[in-house]
């Protein structure tokens, strides 16, 4: 994990994460399934290396090796799917551990590797257990019911340099899809998937917030929502008619069209992809329809690439109008297109994003992405015709 990272499952439980940004095992499972890790970064070994709180919890014990035992506040999602309280013991930091009762939020700076006590070099000694497990007196390594670490800690955003081949896993969020409006926590689940993907392909955060703000107004982020009250719209951005989406998927060789993963790729292709699927129109004739709905003349001629990377350096609110006018093209009536609500949504998603994962897309990209969204690919078809929304 990386500093500040938070990850929730689709029910809103925290996902237990591996507490270091790099994994380098120096000593595989030994007594009570303990594993020793070296501090590491892109350049190599790091002493006194930062470790982050794998979940929100508090310190319940400290000992002579600057060891501490840490309990989750609530049940957390394990890498193997288990939902239970979690206990972690860590040891050897050079400085004293936080005192008993100190609490942390997932992603906080939590501990450091070190060489204090019964240690022969700077490292993090770690043991994990299922449930709230307490000290067993005889030796400081003694946690009851030890658990295989790879079955508890998901390794999202950890670079594995030396993982000894154990079954370390990424936690992948699942879309919540319902032909009805989603509530806030359900929207946040889907938004997290969208944010992860759009960041991975280099979209600017304010642009992502603008797209999310529009999606919220269109579909509450449910990829299978049929337009309420008729009208024939469908999906995250309410393609109208639904066949627009189906045709674009056929042209692009993506399926199924009902998948959120597919739809968020289609949107990008419709903004900057091949002319056969292009839905991005920013000529004066298109934009001016929305001059009474927040659009401004400097939006004329903005390219899809400009929008995706926010080369204009616009705030989320303005980008939300850009997306509405250049791509969504709802009613020209400001009372019906609800442009002010789209702007407010965009701002709140931008605020939300600072809590999902740290806003450091460059670093994240550099390390490569584990989040693969391409589902089943289909062969390209010949003789596609153009279609318009
Ligand atoms: Zn050890």
How far does the centroid of ligand 1 lie from the alpha carbon of residue 188, in Å? 38
pLDDT digits (tens, 9 = 90+) for 99-108: 999 999 999 9
Burial zone of 92 (CB within 10 Å; 0-12 exposed, 13-18 middle, 19+ buried)? buried
How far does the centroid of ligand 1 lie from the alpha carbon of residue 36, in Å? 5
How far does the centroid of ligand 1 lie from the alpha carbon of residue 139, in Å? 13
Residues around ligand 1, an ion, CB closer than 5 A: 34, 36, 125
The predicted pLDDT at position 361 comes to 35
> Is residue 70 a contact partner of residue 87, using CB atoms and an 8 Å limit?
yes
How far does the centroid of ligand 1 lie from the alpha carbon of residue 291, in Å? 65
Q: Is the pLDDT of residue 356 over 50?
A: yes
Domains delineated in the chain: 22-162 (2.70.70.10), 184-385 (1.10.530.10)
pLDDT digits (tens, 9 = 90+) for 262-277: 999 999 999 999 999 9
The predicted pLDDT at position 382 comes to 29
- Band of the pLDDT at 137, cuts 50, 70, 90? low
pLDDT digits (tens, 9 = 90+) for 138-161: 554 567 778 999 999 999 989 999
How far does the centroid of ligand 1 lie from the alpha carbon of residue 368, in Å? 30
What angle, rounded to 10 degrees, do the helices at 260-272 and 184-200 form?
Answer: 50
């Amino acid at each position: 994990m990386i500093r500040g990272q938070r990850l929730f499952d689709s029910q809103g439980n925290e996902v237990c994460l591996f507490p270091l940004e790099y994994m380098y095992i120096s000593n595989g499972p030994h007594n009570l399934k303990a594993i020793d890790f070296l501090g590491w970064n892109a350049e190599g070994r790091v002493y006194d290396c930062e470790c982050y709180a794998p979940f929100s919890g508090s310190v319940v014990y400290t000992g002579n090796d600057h060891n501490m035992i840490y309990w989750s506040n609530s049940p957390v999602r394990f890498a193997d799917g288990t939902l239970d309280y979690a206990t972690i013991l860590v040891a050897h930091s050079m400085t004293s551990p936080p005192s008993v009762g100190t609490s942390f939020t997932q992603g906080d700076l939590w501990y450091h590797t070190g060489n204090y006590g019964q240690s022969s070099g700077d490292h993090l000694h770690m043991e994990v257990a299922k449930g709230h497990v307490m000290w067993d007196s005889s030796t400081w390594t003694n946690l009851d019911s030890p658990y295989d670490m790879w079955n508890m800690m998901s390794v999202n955003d950890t670079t594995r340099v030396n993982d000894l081949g154990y079954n370390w896993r990424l936690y992948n969020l699942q879309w919540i899809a319902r032909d009805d409006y989603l509530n806030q926590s359900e929207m946040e689940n889907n938004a997290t998937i969208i944010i992860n993907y759009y960041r991975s392909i280099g979209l600017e955060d304010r642009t992502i917030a603008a797209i999310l703000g529009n999606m919220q107004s269109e579909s509450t982020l449910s990829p299978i929502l049929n337009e309420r009250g008729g009208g024939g719209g469908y999906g995250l951005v309410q393609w109208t008619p639904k066949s627009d989406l189906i045709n674009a998927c056929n042209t692009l060789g993506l399926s199924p069209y009902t998948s959120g993963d597919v739809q968020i790729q289609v949107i990008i292709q419709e903004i900057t992809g091949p002319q056969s699927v292009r839905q991005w129109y920013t000529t004066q004739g298109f934009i001016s329809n929305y001059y009474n709905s927040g659009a401004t003349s400097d939006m004329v001629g903005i390219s899809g690439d400009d929008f995706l990377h926010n080369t204009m350096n616009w705030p989320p609110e303005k980008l939300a109008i850009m997306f509405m006018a250049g791509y969504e093209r709802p009613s020209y009536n400001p009372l019906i297109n609800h442009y002010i609500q789209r702007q407010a949504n965009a701002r709140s998603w931008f605020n939300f994003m600072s809590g999902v994962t740290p806003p450091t897309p460059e670093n994240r990209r550099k390390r490569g992405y584990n989040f693969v969204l391409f589902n089943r690919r289909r062969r390209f078809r010949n003789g596609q015709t153009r279609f318009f929304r």
